């Protein structure tokens, strides 16, 4: 549910807080009802089950609200005996109020992407989620790499010069985990071995390694436990059709790992994302996954899947996405109206309305502080995402400027 709410200022009277909470409850129930209607259209059995679920939670919502009316202490910060404190309500709505920040491939603007070191640095900066792209090894182990190929981020050509396929590419699927451990992970490089982002990490001595999905989930889970925090995970199933052709169900492996480390399910602190719409449908239907799912949207010529992304950005396409997904992950280049921009105006692209109409969470990618559009500052981009596009958050390589901007937004409320 894409609920747009502002955090309550410290000087608001209790009555205003209660009215704000009632408004939130009303929007939440309306949004949930609309979402369930979309999800269960044409499926009477599923519609009945979801309707019964909604009916079951309504009394609980009313108890929370009426209990708040009966006792001012309900919303008092630090009240240990309150079942629903102001802080708990704010936590429930924080993803919308605070603008969700997702660490794209870990703290990839500062350390080589998807390494455990990048994930640890990301955690220390306290984003809401840390992303993991997942591919499967020869011995069927999920590892965290952005591509199914290895040469762009490792020294595989030096270590295993003859292990490429006929297309000249080195595939992670052709290597066991033990073999991948022998590789050194470096900053993403072009075909001529120059860094894609020349001012990022330039060190040569640190021995960064390929890590498994289990290692990433365990790391984040253990840090959450020790620091009493709740940083979530945001895995992506990479190239599921490729993996299926290789005889392996990548989505099932990722879901099983989410379950193993307690990140799965409707209340799990995670999103599961994919560029393949057919796979998103399979995740919901064949695999029966109930956690939050995001449909990634790219360009058709990127070759991410056989999904028609142009069609997805139509009214019909967004309606179909809403049957299966909780949100979308659109490319930044798709978000603004190009004709309006030629006239010096910043307006959301028309298709964004279809996503909002379907109550889809919108997490665009990728904010890179070292690759800003010409003539724009970082804060301007974030303001446009937040106020023009009304996005719910953003993927970023550079956590520091985004988190700093968000903190400014919060303190100004």
Active-site residue numbers? 104, 146
Rounded-to-integer distance, Cα 382 and Cα 241, Å: 34
Backbone angles phi, psi at 136, to 5 degrees: -115, 135
Rounded-to-integer distance, Cα 109 and Cα 112, Å: 8
Which residues are registered as beta bridge partners of 171?
149
Backbone angles phi, psi at 185, to 5 degrees: -85, 135
CA torsion, points 23, 28, 33, 39, in degrees to nearest 10? 160
Across 88-220, where does the E strand assignment appear? Answer: 100-103, 129-136, 142-144
Residue 315 CA: distances (Å) to CA of 43, 189, 321, 335: 21, 38, 10, 15
Residue 164 CA: distances (Å) to CA of 170, 183, 238: 4, 15, 20
- The two tokens of residue 263 are 């990140």
Rounded-to-integer distance, Cα 249 and Cα 258, Å: 15
Asked whether 326 and 379 are in contact (CB, 8 A), the reply is: no
Asked whether 95 and 234 are in contact (CB, 8 A), the reply is: no
Rounded-to-integer distance, Cα 257 and Cα 216, Å: 11
3-state secondary structure 364-390: CECECCCCCCCCCCHHHHHHHHHHHCC
Which residues are registered as beta bridge partners of 328?
295, 362
Taking alpha carbons only, the member of 182, 164, 162 closest to residue 173 is 164
313 three-state secondary structure: coil
3-state secondary structure 42-109: CCHHHHHHHHHHHHHHHHHHHHHHHHHHHCHHHHCCCCCCCCCCHHHHHHHHHHHHCCEEEECCCCCC
Rounded-to-integer distance, Cα 407 and Cα 251, Å: 35
């Amino acid at each position: 549910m894409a609920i747009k709410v502002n955090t309550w200022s410290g000087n608001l009277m209790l009555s205003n807080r209660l009215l704000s909470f009632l408004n939130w409850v009303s929007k939440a129930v309306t949004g949930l009802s609309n979402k369930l209607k979309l999800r269960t259209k044409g499926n009477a059995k599923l519609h009945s089950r979801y309707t019964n679920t909604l009916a079951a939670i309504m009394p609980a919502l009313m108890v929370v609200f009426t209990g708040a009316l009966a006792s001012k202490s309900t919303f008092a910060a630090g009240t240990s005996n309150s079942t629903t404190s102001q802080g708990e309500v704010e936590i429930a709505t924080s993803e919308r109020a605070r603008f969700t920040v997702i660490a794209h491939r870990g703290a990839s603007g500062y350390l080589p992407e998807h390494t455990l070191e990048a994930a640890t640095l990301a955690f220390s900066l306290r984003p809401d989620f840390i992303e993991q792209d997942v591919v499967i090894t020869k011995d069927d182990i999920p590892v965290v790499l952005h591509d199914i190929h290895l040469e762009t981020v490792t020294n595989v050509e030096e270590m295993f010069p003859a292990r490429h396929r006929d297309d000249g590419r080195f595939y992670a699927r052709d290597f066991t985990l033990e073999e991948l451990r022998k590789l050194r992970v470096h900053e993403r490089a072009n075909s001529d071995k120059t860094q894609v982002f020349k001012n990022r990490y330039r060190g040569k001595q640190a021995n960064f390694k390929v890590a498994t999905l289990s290692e990433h989930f365990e790391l984040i889970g253990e840090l959450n436990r020790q620091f009493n925090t709740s940083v979530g995970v945001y895995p992506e199933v990479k190239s599921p059709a490729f993996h299926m052709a290789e005889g392996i169900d990548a989505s099932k492996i990722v879901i099983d790992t989410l379950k193993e480390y307690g990140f799965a399910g409707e209340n799990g602190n995670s999103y599961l994302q994919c560029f393949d719409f057919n796979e998103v449908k399979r995740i919901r239907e064949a695999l029966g996954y109930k956690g939050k799912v995001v449909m990634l949207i790219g360009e058709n010529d990127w070759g991410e899947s056989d999904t028609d992304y142009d069609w997805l950005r139509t009214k019909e396409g967004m309606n179909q996405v809403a049957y299966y997904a909780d949100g979308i992950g659109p490319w930044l280049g798709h978000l603004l109206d190009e004709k309006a921009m030629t006239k010096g105006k910043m307006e959301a692209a028309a298709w964004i309305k279809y996503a909002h109409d379907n109550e889809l969470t919108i997490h665009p990618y990728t904010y890179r502080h070292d690759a800003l559009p010409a003539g724009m500052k970082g804060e301007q981009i974030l303001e446009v995402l937040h106020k023009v596009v009304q996005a719910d958050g953003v993927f970023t390589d550079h956590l520091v400027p985004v988190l700093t901007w968000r903190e400014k937004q919060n303190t100004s409320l």
